[in-house]
Chains A and B, each alone.
Chain A
Amino acid sequence: MALADLVMARTPPSTRRASAWLLQGLAVAAALGALALVAVTTLENLRARGLPLGLDFLVERAGFSVAETVLPFSPEDIALWAIAVGVVNTLFVSAIVCVGSTGLGLLLGIARLSENPLVARLAQVWVEGVRNTPPILLLIFIYTLWSQALPPEAVLQLGPATLTMRGLTVPALNAAGQATLTPELATILLGLTLYTTGFVAEIVRGGIQSVPRGQWEAARALGLGYAQTLHLVIIPQTLRAILPPMTSQYINIVKNSTLALAVGYTDFLTIMGTLINTSSHAVEGTLIIVAVYLAINLSISAALNLYNRRVALRER
Chain B
Amino acid sequence: MTDASRMIAPVRRPSWLPTGLIRLVDTPLNATLTLLVAAVLVWAVPPLARWAVFDAAVLPATPETCRAAAGACWSFVIAKHSQILFGIYPLDERWRPALVCLGLLALLAWSVRPSAWRPRLGVIWLVMLLAIQILMGGGVLGLTPVPTAEWGGLPVTLILTVVAIGGGFPLAVLLALGRRSDLPAIRTLCTVFVEATRALPLLSILFIASIMLPLMVPEALLPDKLMRALIALLLFAAAYMAEVIRGGLQAVPKGQYEAAAALGLGYWRTQRLVVLPQAIAISIPALTNTIIVMIKNTSLVLVVGLFDLISSGKAALADPAWSSPAIETYVFISAIYFVLCFGFGRFAEAMERRNKASRP
Contacts and interface: CB of A to CB of B under 8 A. Distances in A.
Mutual binders A and B: yes
Interface of A: 1-2, 4-9, 20, 23-25, 27-28, 31, 38, 41-42, 45-46, 114-119, 122, 128-129, 131-137, 140-141, 144-145, 148, 226, 251, 254-259, 261-262, 269, 273, 276, 282-283, 286, 289-290, 293-294, 297-298
Contacts of A118: 24, 33-34, 37-38
Nearest to B317: A144
14 contacts: A4-B268, A8-B267, A23-B186, A25-B185, A42-B216, A45-B215, A116-B23, A116-B24, A122-B37, A254-B201, A255-B203, A262-B302, A294-B196, A294-B199
Given A23-B186, A144-B326, A273 B217 contact: no
A98 to B, nearest CB: 16
B215 A298 contact: no
A42 B36 CA distance: 62
A203 B10 CA distance: 33
Interface of B: 20, 23-24, 26, 29-30, 33-34, 37-38, 182-186, 189, 196, 199-204, 207-208, 211-212, 214-218, 264-269, 292, 296-297, 299-300, 302-303, 310, 326-327, 330, 333-334, 337-338, 341-342, 345
Contacts of B269: 1-2, 5, 9
Contacts of B207: 269, 273, 289
Contacts of A31: 189
Nearest to B23: A115
Contacts of A9: 264-266, 269
A298 B218 CA distance: 34
Contacts of A262: 302-303
A137 B310 contact: yes
Given A258-B201, A298-B199, A134 B212 contact: no
Given A141-B330, A294-B200, A117 B189 contact: no
Given A5-B267, A116-B34, A118-B34, A136 B300 contact: yes
Nearest to B202: A255
A1 B273 CA distance: 11
Task: Say whether chain B's binding surface is mostly helix, strand, loop, or mixed.
Answer: helix
A259 B207 CA distance: 12
A118 B345 CA distance: 24
B267 A226 contact: no
A28 B184 CA distance: 11
Given A41-B217, A117-B24, A134 B297 contact: yes
Contact of B185 (A24, A255, A283): A24
Contact of B296 (A28, A134, A140, A283): A134
A135 B203 contact: no
Contact of A132 (B200, B303, B337): B337
B299 A134 contact: yes
Contacts of B214: 45
Contacts, number: 167
B48 to A, nearest CB: 13
Contacts of A261: 203, 303
| Most chain B CB inside 10 Å of its own CB: which residue of A28, A118, A290 | A118
Given A137-B310, A261-B203, A4 B266 contact: yes
Contacts of B185: 24-25, 27-28
Given A136-B310, A286-B208, A4 B267 contact: yes
Contacts of B211: 276, 282, 286
Given A261-B203, A289-B208, 6 more contacts: A2-B266, A5-B267, A46-B215, A131-B341, A136-B310, A276-B211
Contact of B337 (A23, A134, A144): A134
Contacts of A8: 266-268
Contacts of A116: 23-24, 30, 33-34, 37
A258 B26 CA distance: 46
Nearest to B40: A122
A203 to B, nearest CB: 13
Contacts of A114: 30, 33
Nearest to B20: A117
A281 B176 CA distance: 35
- Top 10 nearest A-B pairs by Cβ distance? A5-B266, A134-B299, A255-B201, A9-B266, A132-B341, A8-B266, A24-B185, A258-B203, A134-B296, A2-B268
A45 to B, nearest CB: 5
A68 B230 CA distance: 33
A251 B200 CA distance: 10
Contacts of B38: 118
A117 B208 CA distance: 47
A141 B334 contact: yes
A282 B212 contact: yes
B197 to A, nearest CB: 10
B29 to A, nearest CB: 7
Contacts of A20: 182-183
B208 A148 contact: no
B216 A38 contact: yes
A161 to B, nearest CB: 21
Contacts of A133: 296, 334, 337-338, 341
